Structure 1
Amino acid sequence: MSLQSQTPANLAFELSRNAHGRLTLRRASDGVEHVGVLPVRAYPISAPNEGLSLFGTDGHELIWIDHIDQLSADQRQLIEDELAAREFVPTIQRILNVSTFATPSTWTVETDRGPFDLVLKAEEDIRKLEGRTHLLITASDGLQFRVRDSNALDKHSRKLLSRFL
């Protein structure tokens, strides 16, 4: 069964990597090859598998995908690989230390990507998402960190975090 018969007509396209490793898209509707395609999630934190756009190098949307499951396994893998290379949102697993309970403060954290020191400029840089236990913390340099479930952190980490919430 072809991709065209499984998904909406606007999702009939070929996706591959060229010899230089750049993501390439060819739509069945016009046959034009677009090199350097950029996937962008509409809701990267709250619904990462829903709402995905593929943009051309000119900044125009080429394809809109309602849900990543609409894609073949090969297409999904190419897109996920490209997104993983661009998206860097480490998950905080433990808060080891905070320099002060006033802001700005320096936090020493352990993440899924290794240890890190981040500077929290203001308490407003901690955003509560999804049931208020999922947090998004923005460091002073703009790098974002995620806490998937603040209740799942160890006791010491929860105590430090509670001073800022």
Structure 2
Amino acid sequence: MSADFTLERDAFGRLILTDAAGRAHTGVAAVRAFPIHAPEEGISLLDADGHECAWIARLADLPPAARVLVTEALEQREFMPTIQRVLAVSSFATPSHWHVQTDRGETWLTLKGEEDIRRLGADLLIISDAHGVQYLIRKLQDMDRQSRKLLDRFL
């Protein structure tokens, strides 16, 4: 399936979408409709004013070059490290400082309150730290025993 638009980057690295009518939209942003449950489906390309220029039902339907550009745009916009292990917790009362291993390396986060841990499903959690960074735990049951034990104290 071919898209009814083309994508390219300008000299400043901004994404430019040219629609079927030949209109160029500079500074396009890619936004996922369902970033956690269906990250490869339902992607909107928005102009600088937030108006939708194009809808992508499935990322896999795009030509390879456009898919790369959209994927890069999504990665630049989204930053949600996945917690793989909870290495240490300063205390079981909040606020507490957590030492965690993520898919992007080790880091420290500050949990302001237990309400900053949100369960999105039986095995899916989002943890928001004091600085607004959101961390994802995709499969709680797949984490090591120590991590689950530490997390259970806050759930």
TM-score (norm 1): 0.88
Task: Kindly state the Cα deviation for residue 147 of structure 1 after the two structures are TM-superposed.
Answer: 1.0
CA distance in 1, matches of 2:11, 2:109: 38
Identity %: 51
* Counterpart code for 1:21: G
Instruction: Return the match for 1:25 from 5, 17, 29.
Output: 17
Q: How far apart, in 2, do the equivalents of 1:43 and 1:121 lie? A: 26
Match of 2:45 among 54, 58, 62: 54
Structure 1: which amino acid aligns with 2:14?
R
Partner residue of 2:130 out of 131, 140, 150: 140
Question: For the residues of structure 2 that align with 1:148 and 1:163, how far apart are their CA atoms?
Answer: 18
Are the counterparts in 2 of residues 46 and 129 from structure 1 also a CA contact under 8 Å?
no
Instruction: Determine the structure 1 residue equivalent to 2:33.
Output: 42
TM-score w.r.t. structure 2 length? Answer: 0.94
Residue 58 of structure 1 and its aligned partner are, at CA, apart by 1.7
User: Cα offset for 1:19?
Assistant: 2.0
Amino acid in the other structure paired with 1:26: T
CA distance in 2, matches of 1:65, 1:82: 14
Give 5+ residue unaligned stretches, structure 2: none
- Look up the match of 1:3: none
Pair 1:107-2:98 in alignment: yes
- Paired with 1:66 and 1:124, the residues of 2 have a C-alpha distance of 34
Corresponding pairs, count = 155
Indicate the residue corresponding to 1:160 in structure 2.
Answer: 150
Q: What whole-Å deviation, never above 9, does each CA across 1:93-119 have from its counterpart, x for those lacking one? A: 111111111111111111111111111
Deviation per residue, 1:126-146 (Å, 9 max, x gap): 11224x112111111110001
Letter in 1 for 2:48: T
- Alignment RMSD, CA only? 1.3
Partners in 1 of 2:132 and 2:141 — Cα distance?
25
2:8 aligns to what?
A: 16
Any stretches of 5+ residues in structure 1 without a counterpart? 1-5
